[in-house]
Amino acid sequence: MSKFIISKITSLSVSLILIFILNSCGIYKYSDARKNPTNANERVKKNMEEGKGFRLSNLGSKRGGDFQFASANPMWRAALSKLSFAPLNNVDYAGGIIVTDWFSEGDTNDQVKITIRFLTNEIRSDAIDIIIHKKVCKEMNSCKINKIESNLNSQIRLAILKKASQIKTKDDVIAKEKRGPIRLPGKSWK
């Protein structure tokens, strides 16, 4: 009787451990049915173009997972490109923030500081938050700092989004060239 109970407890514990391990692997990922084609061949083509499939020719290669480093993130690269005119004070990819130092154009006493907060890695209008502060100094120690809500915030956001879109398109073309054509048995897509 005790061997039976021990074997049931062992099999139950092994089953629970496997469930937790497989659940943390990320096997299931949410997918919007409206964005996926209903035809199986079109779905396979779309997945292969996005790099979600696998190729038998890649089985022997030593390739790790896909990691999001600053050099791989189009939004991050676009923001750094668009802010190249200003001195940077704080650039923290892990924290998702870029802060320029105080800078001014010309001989004015007005200085500006731009802060960009990344809310997501996706290229969307609500993916970044632009904060602009203006410092006006009448004398050396008499300065007033105000947060600016103007059209400039939208212009910077739009410029970053356009640049990020261009970078992503260019990266996708390079990745597609590197991957080569997609060939399935009996099918030919271009």
The sign of the dihedral angle between the CA atoms of 176, 177, 180, 186 is: positive
For residue 64, the model assigns a pLDDT of: 53
Distance CA 119, CA 136 (A): 30
More confident residue, 71 or 152: 152
pLDDT mean over 5-16: 86
Asked whether the predicted pLDDT for residue 114 surpasses 90, the reply is yes
- pLDDT tier at 61 (50, 70, 90 boundaries)? low
For residue 46, the model assigns a pLDDT of: 74
Short-list 71, 159, 68, CA closest to 114? 159
Asked whether the predicted pLDDT for residue 158 surpasses 60, the reply is yes
For residue 25, the model assigns a pLDDT of: 56
HSE value, Cβ hemisphere, 13 Å, CA-based, for 120: 7
Distance CA 159, CA 125 (A): 11
For residue 80, the model assigns a pLDDT of: 92
Asked whether the predicted pLDDT for residue 160 surpasses 90, the reply is yes
More confident residue, 11 or 37: 11
Q: Helices 74-82 and 151-179 meet at what angle, rounded to 10? A: 130
Q: What is the mean pLDDT of the chain?
A: 80
More confident residue, 190 or 39: 39
pLDDT tens, residue by residue, 133-155: 998 888 777 888 899 888 989 99
**The pair of three-digit structure tokens given for residue 167, joined into one six-digit string:** 């970078």
Asked whether the predicted pLDDT for residue 48 surpasses 80, the reply is no
Could you please report the per-residue DSSP string of 168-189?
HHHHHHHHHHHH---EETTEE-
Instruction: List residues bridging with 98 in a β-sheet.
Output: 91, 116
pLDDT mean over 20-42: 68
Distance CA 45, CA 188 (A): 10
Asked whether the predicted pLDDT for residue 94 surpasses 90, the reply is no
